[in-house]
Amino acid sequence: MPPTASIHGQWTTRLAFILAATGSAVGLGNIWRFPYIAGENGGGAFVLVYLGCILLIGLPVMIAEIMLGRRGRQSPINTMTSLSREEGVSTGWASIGWIGVVTGFLILSFYSVVAGWALSYIFKSGAGGFVGLDASGSEAMFDGMLASPEALLAWHTIFMVMVGIVVARGVQSGLEKAVTILMPLLFVMLLVMVGYAVVQGNFAEGLAFMLAPDFSELSANAVLLAMGQAFFTLSLGMGAIMIYGSYLQSDASIPRTAGVVVGADTLVAIVAGLAIFPIVLGAGLSPGEGPGLIFVTLPLAFGEMPGGLIFGTVFFILLSFAAWTSAISIAEPAVAWLVETVGMTRVAATTVLAIAAWTLGIAALLSLNVWSDYTLFDMGVLDFLDYLTANILLPLGGFLIAVFAGWRMTRGSVSAELAMRSPALFGLWYFLVRFVAPVAILLVFLRAVELI
């Protein structure tokens, strides 16, 4: 008999799981990463491929990942070990958990650095730093921040401590509540930004940039980036969603819950794009600006709009919160494993992971200034970590999850855990997870390394 609860605890309601999983999904990936990567890759066609990846790969893999977690009820490493035993297949499938722990550690290190930028912008805004800013002034402000290792280190440290405190206390008590209030607020703030973009920015051009596809612009590498972004933004492929699934009640409907989370995450990304591109194009900035995109464009808008000082400050507070609720889920699989298997206390486990990720984060932040001449595959440490995790490790994890759920578990165990009422919908999901998702991931990989 599979266990019915995790030793780490359980969400109080299905809604709590939805909020926590949405809190994990909605983060820097939606508001910082999505607009800048879409901008660098020509907009419309990229967005379309991204949406295709969300629907055909992301949603089915999310259902599979939650399903594995709830059936195993342990950290991803131990969940995969016990599910493999239960199904009578090689325990080598625990590598899904191992890859996930390593990936999570790598993501956490640079994620914390970028979240530190958001924290820093709360205070820049609050001090009136956006008032009267023009495009070049805004670029100078962002570049000035990146040029200061001390400032970056301070914010990176503060963010990592914030993450450590919540993870050490267990996810349910603090986060469940915070997420309920903050996520809707963040969405409202984004709508305010869209409202501003409609009135002040170049909304028609921004809309066209984001939605009118021009496939001639789309390289094989851009397709890989779109797929990587789909995994990153949905928190898939590294066990974050798996462990959240392990805290989910046995009677909650997994497909419906996954649908809500994917829908909410996608909506936030699209709304973020609609808020940002009109401002970019209206101010004569380039959508291909890179990682600084939102940090350069949004301050321009806040600097001009009535009440911008308050809106700007609140916006960056909410962005920091979104990053916070995501970072917690990135840490959780490794922490749970250290507790389960190494026998550490939760506090000790969190401390070990946070210090390790913090240390690697220092290399990432130095790559923006004093180490800017050192590159790996033409990328600085931060860009390299981002590229490696989002575009390679997460899709790899997702591929293995799909293959395990689709081919290594029996149809009986899978359908028992999902308990879907509609055989047609189950059949559709099963087809996507067995054929479409793994084949698509493989093809995109092969195409990106120019093997096909």
Positions in the binding site for ligand PHE (CB under 6 A): 24-25, 27-30, 107, 232-233, 235, 238, 240, 326, 329-330
**Shortest gap between Cβ of 262 and ligand PHE (angstroms)?**
11
Q: Measured between alpha carbons, how far is 394 from 374 in angstroms, rounded to an integer?
A: 25
Q: Measured between alpha carbons, how far is 92 from 141 in angstroms, rounded to an integer?
A: 49
**Shortest gap between Cβ of 141 and ligand PHE (angstroms)?**
23
**Shortest gap between Cβ of 99 and ligand PHE (angstroms)?**
13
**For ligand PHE, the closer CB: 75 or 235:** 235
Task: Locate 160 and state its tokens.
Answer: 């990592």
Task: Locate 185 and state its tokens.
Answer: 């607020």
**Shortest gap between Cβ of 73 and ligand PHE (angstroms)?**
20
Burial class (CB in 10 A: 0-12, 13-18, 19+), 172: middle
**For ligand PHE, the closer CB: 22 or 313:** 22
Q: Measured between alpha carbons, how far is 437 from 443 in angstroms, rounded to an integer?
A: 10
Burial class (CB in 10 A: 0-12, 13-18, 19+), 249: middle
**For ligand PHE, the closer CB: 40 or 265:** 265
Contact 361, 117 (CB under 8 A): no
**For ligand PHE, the closer CB: 112 or 326:** 326
- Residue 136: other Cβ atoms inside 10 A: 10
Per DSSP, the three-state class of 409 is coil
**Shortest gap between Cβ of 35 and ligand PHE (angstroms)?**
12
**For ligand PHE, the closer CB: 29 or 44:** 29
Give CA angle at 389 (144, 176), nearest 5°: 85
**For ligand PHE, the closer CB: 203 or 231:** 231
What is the DSSP code (8-state) at residue 438? H
Contact 321, 178 (CB under 8 A): yes
Name the residue number minimizing CB distance to ligand PHE: 29
**For ligand PHE, the closer CB: 283 or 319:** 319
Per DSSP, the three-state class of 375 is coil
**For ligand PHE, the closer CB: 394 or 409:** 394
**Shortest gap between Cβ of 410 and ligand PHE (angstroms)?**
28
- Residue 218: other Cβ atoms inside 10 A: 18
**Shortest gap between Cβ of 181 and ligand PHE (angstroms)?**
19
**Shortest gap between Cβ of 404 and ligand PHE (angstroms)?**
18
Task: Locate 282 and state its tokens.
Answer: 């209206």
